Chains A and B, each alone.
Chain A
Amino acid sequence: MQVYLPIAELSLDVFLLLVLGGLVGFISGISGIGASFLMTPILIFIGIPSPVAVASQANQVVATSLSGTLSQWSRGNIDFKMGGILLIGGMAGSSLGVWLFGLLAKIGQADLVVAISYIFCLGSIGLLMLWESIRSLFKKMIKPSTKVRLPFYQRPWIQTLPLKRNFPKSKLYISICLPMTIGFGVGLLSAIMGVGGSFLLVPAMIYLLGMPITVVVGTSLFQMVFVTANVTLQQAIQNQSVDILLAAILMIGGVVGTQWGTKLSGKIRGEYVRFGFSLLMLGVCVGLANELLVKPSAIYSIRTIGELR
């Protein structure tokens, strides 16, 4: 059954969109990390103009993040104080990001910046995750390293940052500058790439902030609700690119898929999930790098002035 999407201005199969939303939601649920970095490129691939894909995806992520946040909240897994600081930075970063995206689209370089951001983030985080999961899987075979590197958050220069506060839930005492900046950076990148940002935020929370794993997923989802809501609002106001019908259909598939994935996440070893996840990230990264560096799918592109495509 085809449905006409009024903002995207084309019609797509409802079933296809539901399955896509469900599949991506499932990957999110099972890994505990968002998979918007898969969804946004896929939406663009099936013909949705990139501003509409980015904005509508942000809208969808509000829903999936909220349902995840509520789940985690009911289990007491959210550090609201840390989440609050993160989201202050996130709101500022994402607002700047949407404005920047609009500016880049006008000069015809939005796709380039988006591609570079994706390649950089997916590449670095993907490789880190791949390395970490392989190490965990082959723990017995690798000799433990004798050199001990201080975790990022305990490094001396971080300790000297001002405005230190206590974060009891995360058992941390660090400067608020750090989470604020991380939130800002993640918000900025989220807005530009059209993602929720958790594939950036979760590793940042673990490795840069040193938050305990139990709190990381919930707190990142909490922050994402506000940041993606902000992106949705800004996109609607600045670019009128939110397709509410597209977002609604993706939401239905996404929420169902995420819940289903979350239920299964306990049954599979984390290392296997992260291994597979990192391969997905690197796969998308390689695909985009190919497009950008080796062989673009089209040398000439057109855009009708006054319209979104």
Chain B
Amino acid sequence: MLIALTLVWAPLTKADTLIADLSSHLIAITTGFKGTDLLMFGAIDAPGDIVVVVQGPLTSIIVRKKERVAGVWVNQANITFENIPSFYAIASSKPIEQILSPETQKQLNIGIENVPMKVDGELTPEEEKQFHDALIANKRLQELYYTDIARVNFMGRELFRTNIFFPSNVPTGDYVVDIMLVRDKNVVGVQRTPLVVSKVGFGAEIFDFAHQQKWFYGSLSICLAIFGGGVGYVFFRRR
């Protein structure tokens, strides 16, 4: 996408200065984590519009379709989409169609429908589109793909800010945040900044423990249950 950006970049002029940053480059998932808003902000030299795209780490996702077999709904056809973002959100100072043409959007993969999704499977183009739409719909239900485009607000002509919400089931890993300056239907500047989402603290230790010391973790879970059961019995015994 960065290569595509350089191709549509208008020649840089002094008025194309864009600076931007995030309130934090780490979203730490702690024990009390219930989702969080991340603040993005910056400044530009001369009037323009801002588009922000946040993408989570790339994953592969299987989409399965149920069909009726002998009266029973069973998973039948399935395809795997590879190299697709596990999280995707957009913010913009104006509705995207007002500031960027559909071609530019497609070229720059702005908008989840424009993100290329490599398919590993054999289906007709219509079926592929159905699976593709189902994937996006499901991810939207999980709140991991945006349903509404967030608003980038300008304070005065130069300072801008926006909030992107990350729900509690947000995938961990390295994210990419692209903050783009748009003028005259062209992207004239971009600031790419990293973001990391990671489990921190007690929850992270439990997760690592479960994956690295499986036998020990399993045995410990059982011991905890035995302890809990025993305490429960003793505590209520005084009948």
Contact = CB atoms under 8 A, between A and B. Distances in A.
A300 interface: yes
Contacts of B114: none
Interface string A68-79: 011100100000
A69 B64 CA distance: 43
Contacts of A240: 210-211, 214, 217
A244 interface: yes
Nearest to B69: A112
Interface string B198-212: 010011101100110
Nearest to B167: A10
A300 B224 contact: no
B81 to A, nearest CB: 9
Interface stretch (A149-157, A245-253, A277-285): A245-253
Nearest to A71: B233
Interface in B142-163: none
A109 B210 contact: no
B206 A263 contact: no
Nearest to A238: B214
B225 interface: yes
Contacts, number: 193
A11 B35 contact: yes
B63 interface: yes
Contact of A108 (B62, B72, B137, B215): B62
Contact of A66 (B65, B139, B207, B229): B229
Interface stretch (B1-9, B24-32, B88-96, B175-183): B24-32
Nearest to A25: B232
A248 B218 contact: no
B71 interface: yes
Interface residues of A, number: 62
B17 interface: no
B211 A255 contact: no
A146 interface: no
A208 interface: no
Contacts of B138: 298, 300-302
Given A112-B74, A236-B217, A300-B64, 10 more contacts: A11-B32, A60-B225, A63-B229, A233-B221, A236-B215, A244-B210, A244-B224, A247-B224, A303-B61, A305-B62
Interface of B: 29-35, 59-66, 71-75, 78, 80, 86, 131, 134-135, 137-139, 168-169, 171, 199, 202-204, 206-207, 210-211, 214-215, 217-222, 224-226, 228-233, 235-237, 239
